[in-house]
Amino acid sequence: MDAQEKIEALRRELEHHNKLYYVYDAPVISDYEYDMLMEQLIKLEEEHPELVTKDSPTQRVGGEALSQFEPVRHQVPLDSLADVFSEDELYLFGERMDSLLSAGHDYVVEPKIDGLSMSLEYENGVFVRGATRGDGVTGENVTENLRTVRSLPLRIENAPERLIVRGEVYMAKSVFEELNAQREINGEPLLANPRNAAAGSMRQLDPKVAASRKLDIICFNLQYTSGEPYLNDAETLDALRGMGFPVVPYTRCASVAECVERIRQLGEERNGFAYDMDGAVIKINSLAQRAALGSTAKAPRWAVAFKYPPEKKESRVLDIVVQVGRTGVLTPKAIVEPVRLAGTTVSAATLHNQDNIDRLDIRIGDTVLLQKAGEIIPEVLSVNKAKRPEGTEPFRLPSVCPECGSPVVRDEDGAALRCTSPECPAQRLRNLAHFASREAMDIEGLGISVCESLIDSGLVKTAADLYYLEPGPVAAMDRMGEKSAANLLAAIDKSRQAGLARLLCAFGIRQVGQKAAKVLASHFGDLDSLMAAGAEELTAIPDIGGITAGFITEWFANPQSQHLIGRLRAAGVNFQSLEERRDDRFAGLTFVLTGTLDKYTREEAAAIIESFGGKASSSVSKKTSFVLAGENAGSKLTKAQSLGIPVLSEEEFEERIQ
């Protein structure tokens, strides 16, 4: 069997297992076995890049970032549905169908997934284009982002010459919760609900970001086929499922009364679905009858969407507690008498911040109205002041951290109060995970789960404790062992020489990310010189403004920061800059890197550019000075050529850095 035959066989096998997993929920191999098959395919494709195709399962990781989304005019409009909000309105819909359709008719009822509607186009069984709904007539081309969705088939067998399918991209509730937990660790704003998270992920210009969000898709309509026509909707859904599409679960109903009963059942079951659903769809099953009924200017006449009302219940506030999150933000939470709400028992609700508490005028002892925001997060909607007990007092957040006693400050760009201590116990996990992250000290193997284990076992309280770990206690942790412990300790030891720029980034000083850390390391050369600098000297440095300078001086003045630095110094962590400025030949120039270089990784090339005083950017614009292009350069090269920006080959780049 030659390479092409092996590659095709592996692709078929992987797509077969995708279908079993995503469509039939009946996997026959483990995730590890699947990953091993994928590794074989990746290796073969790396050896034979000329055999890589866009429909290969390996292409789901995301390609080059786009500069914008192109408009797409839908061949078949993606109509929206008219909403109804009561069972009476459902029966009125049934009466209209009875009056308009002389022949007998039945219905299909299915969950209404709360996601992002998409048009999916296939030619000769290969996925060629995907677009958002947009205004129903014109959407945006998000093909590259859709390729990253594992549950979307990139190739289908026995397909007609042309096929257009409508589906809903969504983020599973479990994935949404994981994503928000990670964003909290990273100090990023939390996402409101799974739909917003899915929509934001699908509209990322960098497909690699979309790939990291673990989106799913479920299909609910056959828009167009060049093959044999179907008679009814149920038939098309069964056919799509047979082709390998994840398809919405549907129920055929002989009457509107049966539809109403099924909609009630879905309402009771909806908290058990992997995805958010905000309603149910009822539609005529016969495709010929649909064509006869047609559409209004706004929506088809043959279907309506029933919207479930958000469940709201009253409860009494027993207490208001203040928690310190992993980013140091103080979050007030109302402890309420337990109440059953949207499928779960709620005993606490977020109050967000002091501004929200003041707006609601919420006090301990109040009776409040609760609702789950996005069916996920319990929140207080209002206070029933008629039931307020006498003697209640307005609630104020504390001026010091309830965990460590350090002063708290209000964010200048928001309403959050934040603990100023770098060693606050509540921030341990976030601080430790950030310290070890790739952009900071780059400690391989020290991910979130290992950080949690180190903290839970009492081995680590601050990042400095990493450099004092012993093999025995680390090996004794759950799922660790001697070999894993040895690898982890070797990676920690290696990070001692990461250099000043990475260390500054690892400290987590507000507004000091990778870029500012490199600027500071290059300017001062060592940590002690930076610590001795005042605000005036800091603001004289390009890219360091007054607010950032204030955050830097405050952080170094904190006694807990000084304690952390002292222990890192004693552990032999390098406080010197590794970025030795060679000269300023690239000063004022901005480079964009694209494609694959032979002698350097992109990170290495960017470091060389910065060592000569230049800047490395991720996107091409009129301000770009040069584009450094390697093999398989993509849209960045095309845009640079259209703007007349000089393009350097790797050889020309080397000539400039001699």
**Pick from 580, 459, 585: nearest CA to 526:** 580
By DSSP bridging, strand 377-384 and strand 626-629 are: unpaired
Domain ranges of the chain: 3-52, 73-307, 312-387, 421-574, 590-657
345 strand-pairing partners: 340
pLDDT at 48: 83
Give the whole-angstrom CA distance, residue 284 versus residue 292.
Answer: 11
Please say if the pLDDT value at position 97 is more than 90: yes
* pLDDT at 313 (0 to 100): 87
Cβ–Cβ under 8 Å, residues 317 and 363? yes
End-to-end, the C-alpha distance of the chain in Å comes to 47
Q: Report pLDDT digits (tens) over 306-332.
A: 988 877 889 999 999 998 876 688 889
How far apart CA 221 and CA 253 sit, in angstroms, is: 18
d(CA 58, CA 47): 14
* Domain topology for 73-307: D-amino Acid Aminotransferase; Chain A, domain 1 (3.30.470)
The CA–CA distances, whole Å, from 518 to 494, 505, 506 equal: 20, 8, 12
SS3 217: strand
Query: Which among 384, 329, 322 is positioned nearest to 348, based on CA atoms?
Result: 322
Please report which helix (H) or strand (E) contains residue 652, including its range.
helix 650-657
> Are the C-beta atoms of residues 125 and 168 closer than 8 Å to each other?
no
Q: Which two tokens stand for residue 187?
A: 């100090």
Inter-residue contact 495 to 443 (CB < 8 Å): yes
Give the pLDDT of residue 65. 52
Task: Write the CB contacts of 551 (distance below 8 Å, at least 6 apart in sequence).
Answer: 509, 510, 511, 512
d(CA 322, CA 379): 15
CATH code of the region 590-657:
3.40.50.10190
> Which CATH code is given to the segment(s) 312-387?
2.40.50.140
C-alpha–C-alpha distance, residues 477 and 451, integer Å: 11
Q: What is the Cα 622 distance to its own chain's centre?
A: 30
What are 380-418's pLDDT values in tens digits? 999 999 999 999 999 999 999 998 888 888 876 677 888
Task: Transcribe 107-149 into DSSP letters.
Answer: EEEEEEE-SEEEEEEEETTEEEEEEE-TTSSEEEB-HHHHHT-
CATH 2.40.160.20 fits 421-574, yes or no: no
Q: What is the mean pLDDT of residues 517-526?
A: 86
Q: What is the pLDDT of residue 129?
A: 95
Query: Pairing relation of β-strands 138-140 and 367-373?
Result: unpaired
Per residue in 547-575, pLDDT tens? 888 889 988 998 888 999 999 999 999 99
CA separation for the pair 611, 583 (Å, rounded): 7
In 3D, which of 217, 260, 240, 173 has the Cα closest to residue 60? 217
CATH topology for the 3-52 domain: Helix Hairpins (1.10.287)
Q: Which of 6, 19, 54, 112 is catalytic?
A: 112
Residue 112 designated active-site = yes
Q: State how far the alpha carbon of 345 is from the alpha carbons of 315, 337, 349, 351, 371, in Å.
A: 12, 10, 11, 18, 12
Averaged pLDDT of the chain: 87
